[in-house]
Amino acid sequence: MDFQMASFITSGLLVVIGLYGVFFVDNVLKKIIALEILGSGVNLALIAIGYNGGTIPIKLPNVPLNVFAKESAYPLTHALVLTNIVIEASMLAVMLGVSIILYKKYKTLKGSVILKED
Amino acid sequence: MNFLPMIIVFPLIMAIIMNLLHGKEKAVKYLTFATAIILIALPFIGEYGYYYFSGHGVVDGWISGIAYLYNPAKQAVIITLSLIASLVLITGMGEKLKNNMFVTLSLMGFASISAIVLADDIFNLYVFFEIISIVQAGLVFLSGTEEAYKAGLRYMIIGSVAAALMLLGITFLLASTGTLNISDMKHHLLTDNPMVYGGLLLLIVGLAYGSGLPPFHNIKADLYARSKGFISAMLQTYSKFVLVGLMLIILKLFNGLSYFSSAHAVLIALGVLAMVFGVVMALLQSDYKKLLAYHAISQGGYVATGLALGTPLGIVAGIFHAINHVIYKSALFLGAYIVSCKRGSNLHKLGGLLPLMPYVAFMVLCAKLAISGVPPFNGFQSKWMLAEAAMQVNMPEIAIIMIIVSIGTFVSMMKAFYLIYLKPVDEETLKEYQGKEVPKLAVFSLFVLTALCIIIGLDPSLITNYLWDYAREIGVNYCLK
């Protein structure tokens, strides 16, 4: 099994674990942790499709551009993952803030209590 | 020089400035008014065609960098969006909630919806898709009640799942085509490998979440019902235009390919289910804002069905219905806001408001007739076009369902009108009503929207002239059976 295939299998496992955690675990904090795991799985898949056996996609000053383009991995996916990490962090911050507010109100983090529709 | 990116950059800059003006109510008020005026002018300063960021353009036949595409159909959508946004901002000036946060969030929402509609780059679209879900949750948190926090948190948790799945779909499409640009990607999708299927289905998950189609209709309706009336007007505008933007991108990528016919069935089924679920849930509600929220879901189903047919007439009817819907539903939500200033929004505790505000009652009645599809209002024109489009692809049963759902809409709307304006009440309640003022800015916005309902109803070519070219470009004529 080569490196790329192993990354795909790992990311699939992470996505499945994340989906299980979001829908079947009854604790808001654990739900949010599961969301992060799901997001990491997607990020890993995104990086793995750009991997072609090359080096890290950072252009050092003493490497000419055509050599860099031949030797490195696909840099676009890395840029996308950086953007996605920033977005995920901001979502996470807002969700944690709101769950603190709801915890102060109900004194519990059970999803069946503080996410209940009425 | 092309000023197209100002549609997105100007509201973002104003949002940052507003965020810094915390606590300075007067400065926020004047600046909000100026911004609301400028927003109306924004759609007219861009030129039609492609815009490439940082001057990259086309390199060796591949489009490099982020690109925006502007054309008359997108212009019509953004004109409507800026009109509703500026009316809602003007209405919000009279309200004493944390004013600068409201203005900041709605300007960020305006910028992200314009970016979703304009984007010709699928990752740029994903970034703004995530921003819009934070913005919608934030707008709900502003009302500060416990139910609002619950609804917002639920929306964000489901939203993170849907957005992660959508990013996985974008990953699949990137892996099978090697590009992120939508116009480029179109040429590389001709083969039907399972990865492309997966990408399409995961994009549909994102679409259903962003626009409140089933199975996400409940959390979306909850979101509308928990916020203040004029904020709900803004929220439902956002989700209708997310629907239009994403659906146009799915059609542009896949329409006309042989394996898209099965996905057609999925999209049409989602639209029809949203129509029926929305109206059935609306008939059961006793809270006026919840009733309107479920109607917003139901009308979203009409838009999705029209666009999913994929023929030029269907696409024109879908976008036209989205534009009409945001106009009359915003009028209805503003009416609900005016009523809730008097005495809550529980239908069984209201009544007898007709002699106190006859003009408001008349304008709300106009909007109610428009949503039920009665001529000569704008809802009639677009629903007629939708039924025609369904007949054209040889699916008369969809047209019949549309008519039945319209009747359900009419019944529940008239029930609400009787309970709020006509039902007789006792002396005490009348005294309570007279002690509370009607927000004048909201009445002004309501008047503008109702006038638009009648004008578009009398001359639908005002809007449809903008839409035909783009619809012919991405639509494909065929019979579904």
Q: Does A21 touch chain B (CB under 8 A)?
A: no
- Name residue, tokens 């499709």: A49
Q: What chain B residue is nearest to A40 in terms of C-alpha separation?
A: B164
**Which residues of chain A does B134 touch, with a Cβ-Cβ cutoff of 8 Å?**
90-91, 94
Q: How does pLDDT run along chain B (481 residues), one tens digit per residue?
A: 788 888 999 999 999 998 888 878 888 888 889 999 999 998 898 888 888 887 777 777 777 778 888 999 999 999 999 999 999 999 888 777 666 888 999 999 999 999 999 988 888 899 999 999 999 999 999 888 888 999 999 999 999 999 999 999 999 999 888 888 888 888 888 777 888 888 999 999 999 999 889 889 888 998 898 888 889 999 999 999 999 999 999 999 888 788 888 888 889 999 999 999 999 999 998 888 999 999 999 999 999 999 998 899 999 999 999 999 999 999 999 999 988 888 778 888 887 788 888 899 999 999 999 999 888 889 899 999 999 999 988 888 999 999 999 999 999 999 999 988 888 888 877 777 777 788 888 899 999 999 999 999 999 898 899 899 998 888 887 766 5
Beta strands (DSSP E) in chain A are none
Which ipTM score applies to this complex? 0.94
Q: Does A48 touch chain B (CB under 8 A)?
A: no
Of B231, B238, B224, B349, the residue nearest B286 (C-alpha): B349
| 8 Å CB contact of A102 and B153 | yes
Burial class (CB in 10 A: 0-12, 13-18, 19+), B315: buried
Contacts of B356 (CB under 8 A, 6+ apart): B342, B433, B434
Q: Does B141 touch chain A (CB under 8 A)?
A: yes
> Residue A53 gets which letter from DSSP?
S
Q: Does B56 touch chain A (CB under 8 A)?
A: no
Query: Phi/psi of residue B214, each to 5°?
Result: -60, 145
Taking the C-alpha atoms of residue B337 and residue B331, their distance in angstroms, rounded to an integer, is: 10
